[in-house]
């Protein structure tokens, strides 16, 4: 067993910090009377050197710290609470005595070969089966010339994706040894560039426990963090100490060089430790009541739906969250964050909502995160719904009402027209501040949680039996439809209708005021066979299958063209330059909107209305655009509206979702022309887009 020279150390930085001559270790654990730092020779070592700390010189009120000379990067370590103080309130209930604990600030985790999610109280078993932390030097990486894209949200198109699922399927064409990894994703960046997206939103890449699932299942999504600093090792083809960190940064650098930002889906609402019946590998061992919301009996409040709830407004946890975000932004060069169940960050230590939650405002105002995009999922599993009310001005929000109201209208539901048009123009009923920008709303029809786009128009109800929860899991309110046959079909007419609806959904997501987000695989009609909660399906059901049939190719081309035309430079009429324009985008104060029905200026706002026409004029671009959405189950004949003061000008057909490729998005030089007053047949469940110069 090695002998080490130690000194007092400090707690000015938590975690393991490499300093001149050694490493400083510091951890928060106010209830400990004796705490031990365990230093392992390697990840399989079961007989570590134990540095026992009990003297006040190693303690600064709530924090324990020690400097160990002669060690550095690569040192494997863990903590263990040996005794609790007798005077600290409920001290013995707040810590776990004798457990091997990973560092809450550890930037790399290792797992022994016989790792177990649950360990008993036997000390030898703990040393054999528990995860460990590793000292790493995150400054030794060559970023080269920094080229973070820093796209404005008005020019952002987000692609929500799963790192492993993107390339795990053999059809990806990626070499077998790097499928499902950060390096594998790099190989498929050309697809993202051709698609036209400007940002990827990665499902969780913080180290998570794949065993956090029902017996026989594995957690695939990763919404079960073990650490808020360590990168998930399984997504790296390089398993060396620095391998996962460097490979992740290689991916970020490659995406940046292709003009694509990286947004991380982050989980600061709970951890993988679960409730009282869950494992203990870190936070529970150091201070349960600081890290989690609990009642006086010691029960864990479960506003996350995952067993426990992080006590986000506790000062120690607030600092942990901020330090984690700053680490990923500054040292890993991540461009932004999407916060899973962000409303939990508005709850106090008793679970009650705070009107101006410090945790949310800290993130909103932090100067070191000033240029990072921050996006909230503005609800939680406890029923706190804060769409339009997340504390702080910088926050952007997943707009769940956009998803539900657009789905409802396009399905043909009654009483849906008014909400539908509000979603198209940036949801002013939700974001009612006079000068708020439309990009407050992140618009999406589908995301990881729920049906894929293909399944949305192929299934009337969820099919989750394979998850092992007897179909009880997953959302029942899907606003989906199968249009006559549940699931797969060979009916050509039905397949055409479903494809048309998928095109409609993509077009509406891209056109509407706000920032659009598209789910991985929707551009190629990826299916999960009706499973709307595939969190434990780490298999071909969830993976991207790159073998495309004719319909999938058509959907891919349509999606590319719609994203490309979200902001385009084109010529209409007599080669007149129109400049850059974006369909419904731009602040309302710069846009004039007219509403039409099948007759000009006669919009139908009744509860039984299933169609609407929209004409927009931008003076700064001297352009008109006309969009007619027919969610009715029959064809409609529409009279085209006049162009003000431009009787001789013509409308040019840009998009018709009822047409087959390549006429669905028309080449700008071949756009069919129509005069005001012409009668245009708009096919059932389709939309058309027309443009015209104003001068």
Pairing of strands 396-398, 441-443: parallel
Question: Could you give the residue ranges of the DSSP H alpha helices within 328-439?
Answer: 358-365, 400-411, 417-424
Average pLDDT for 388-404: 96
Q: Supply angle C-alpha 74, 75, 80, rounded to 5.
A: 140
For the chain, give the number of residues: 695
pLDDT of residue 647: 60
Lowest mean pLDDT among 284-298, 534-548, 580-594: 580-594
3-state SS, one letter per residue, for 266-335: ECCCCCCCCCCCCCCCCHHHHHHHHHECECCCCCECCCCCCCCCECCCCHHHHHHHHHHHHHHHHHCCCC
* Cβ contact 629:596 at 8 Å: no
Which of 551, 554, 525, 507 minimizes the C-alpha distance to 662?
554
- 222 close to 209: Cβ distance less than 8 angstroms: no
Question: Which of these ranges, 61-65, 464-468, 552-556, 575-579, has the smallest mean pLDDT?
Answer: 575-579
Distance between CA atoms of 566 and 562, rounded to whole angstroms? Answer: 6
Tokens 């128009």 belong to residue: 457
Non-local (6+) Cβ contacts of 433 within 8 A are none
Question: pLDDT tens digits for 623-634?
Answer: 889 999 999 999
- Catalytic residue positions, numbered: 340, 377
The mean pLDDT value for 24-43 works out to: 97
List the structure tokens of 58.
């190693």
> Which pairs count as long-range contacts for 493-499, CB under 8 Å and 24+ apart, including other chains?
495/551, 497/457, 497/685, 498/454, 498/457, 498/458, 499/525, 499/551, 499/554, 499/555
CA distance 213 to 216: 8
Total-model pTM: 0.95
**CA–CA separation, 193 and 316 (whole Å):** 41
CA atoms within 13 A on the CB side of 122: 8
By three-state DSSP, how is residue 76 classified? strand
Which pLDDT value is given to residue 620? Answer: 57
pLDDT digits over 635-650, tens only? 999 999 998 876 678 9
Q: What is the pLDDT of residue 589?
A: 46
**Segment 529-541 mean pLDDT:** 98
Token pair belonging to 241 = 């100490």
- SS3 assignment, position 118: coil
pLDDT at 226: 98
Distance of alpha carbon 557 from its chain centroid, rounded?
Answer: 25
Whose CA is closest to 174, among 189, 162, 194?
A: 189
Pairing of strands 109-110, 22-28: unpaired
User: Tens digits of per-residue pLDDT, 287-330?
Assistant: 999 999 999 999 999 999 999 999 999 999 999 999 999 999 99
């Amino acid at each position: 067993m090695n002998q080490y020279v130690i000194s007092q150390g400090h707690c000015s930085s938590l975690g393991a910090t490499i300093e001149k001559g050694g490493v400083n270790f510091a951890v928060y654990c106010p209830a400990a009377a004796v705490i031990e730092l365990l230093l392992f020779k390697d990840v399989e070592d079961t007989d570590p050197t134990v540095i026992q700390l009990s003297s006040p010189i190693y303690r600064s009120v709530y924090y324990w710290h020690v400097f160990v000379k002669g060690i550095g990067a690569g040192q494997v370590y863990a903590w263990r609470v040996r005794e609790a103080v007798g005077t600290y309130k409920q001290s013995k209930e707040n810590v776990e005595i004798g457990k091997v604990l990973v560092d809450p600030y550890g930037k790399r985790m290792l797992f022994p070969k016989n790792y177990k999610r649950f360990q008993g109280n036997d000390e030898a078993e703990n040393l054999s089966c528990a995860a460990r932390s590793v000292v790493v030097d995150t400054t030794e990486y060559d970023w080269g010339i920094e080229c973070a894209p820093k796209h404005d949200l008005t020019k952002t198109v987000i692609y929500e994706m799963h790192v492993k699922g993107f390339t795990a399927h053999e059809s990806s064409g990626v070499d077998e040894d790097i499928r499902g990894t950060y390096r594998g994703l790099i190989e498929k960046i050309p697809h993202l560039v051709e698609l036209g997206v400007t940002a990827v939103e990665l499902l969780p890449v913080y180290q998570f426990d794949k065993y956090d699932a029902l017996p026989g299942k594995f957690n695939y999504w990763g919404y079960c963090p073990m650490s808020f600093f360590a990168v998930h090792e399984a997504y790296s083809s390089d398993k060396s100490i620095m391998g996962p960190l460097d490979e992740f940064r290689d991916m970020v650098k490659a995406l940046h060089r292709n003009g694509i930002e990286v947004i991380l889906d982050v989980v600061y609402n709970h951890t993988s430790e679960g409730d009282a019946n869950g494992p203990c590998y870190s936070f529970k061992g150091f201070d349960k009541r600081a890290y989690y919301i609990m009642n006086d009996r010691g029960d864990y409040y479960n506003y996350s739906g995952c067993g426990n709830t992080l006590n986000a407004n506790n000062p120690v946890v607030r600092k942990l969250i901020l330090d984690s975000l700053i680490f990923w932004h500054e040292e890993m060069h991540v461009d932004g964050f999407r916060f899973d169940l962000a409303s939990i960050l508005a709850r106090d230590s008793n679970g009650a909502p705070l009107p101006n939650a410090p945790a949310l405002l800290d993130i909103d105002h932090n100067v070191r995160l000033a240029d990072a995009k921050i996006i909230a999922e503005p609800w939680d599993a406890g029923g706190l719904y804060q769409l339009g009310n997340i504390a702080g001005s910088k926050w952007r929000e997943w707009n769940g009402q956009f998803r539900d109201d657009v789905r409802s209208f396009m399905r043909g539901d009654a009483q849906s027209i008014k909400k539908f048009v509000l979603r198209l123009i940036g949801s002013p009923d939700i974001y009612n501040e006079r000068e708020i920008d439309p990009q407050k709303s992140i618009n999406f029809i589908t995301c990881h949680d729920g049906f894929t786009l293909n399944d949305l128009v192929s299934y009337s109800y969820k099919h989750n039996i394979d998850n092992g929860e007897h179909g009880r899991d997953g959302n029942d309110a899907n606003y989906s439809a199968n249009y006559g046959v549940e699931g797969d079909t060979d009916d050509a007419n039905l397949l055409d209708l479903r494809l048309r609806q998928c095109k409609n959904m993509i077009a509406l997501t891209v056109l509407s005021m706000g920032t659009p987000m598209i789910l991985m695989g929707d551009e190629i009609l990826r299916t999960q066979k009706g499973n709307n909660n595939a969190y434990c399906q780490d298999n071909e059901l969830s993976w991207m299958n790159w073998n495309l049939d004719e319909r999938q190719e058509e959907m891919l081309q349509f999606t590319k063209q719609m994203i490309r035309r979200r902001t385009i430079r084109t010529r209409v009429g007599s080669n007149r330059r129109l400049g850059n324009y974006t369909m419904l985008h731009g602040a309302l104060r710069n846009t004039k909107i007219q509403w039409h029905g099948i007759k000009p200026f006669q919009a139908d706002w009744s509860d039984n209305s299933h169609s609407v026409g929209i004409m927009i004029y931008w003076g700064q671009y001297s352009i008109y655009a006309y969009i007619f959405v027919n969610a009715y189950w029959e064809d409609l004949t529409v009279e085209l509206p006049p162009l003000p003061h431009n009787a001789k000008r013509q409308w040019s057909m840009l998009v018709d979702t009822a047409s087959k490729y390549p006429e669905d998005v028309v080449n700008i030089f071949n756009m069919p022309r129509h005069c005001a007053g012409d009668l245009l047949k708009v096919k059932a469940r389709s939309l058309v887009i027309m443009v015209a110069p104003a001068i």
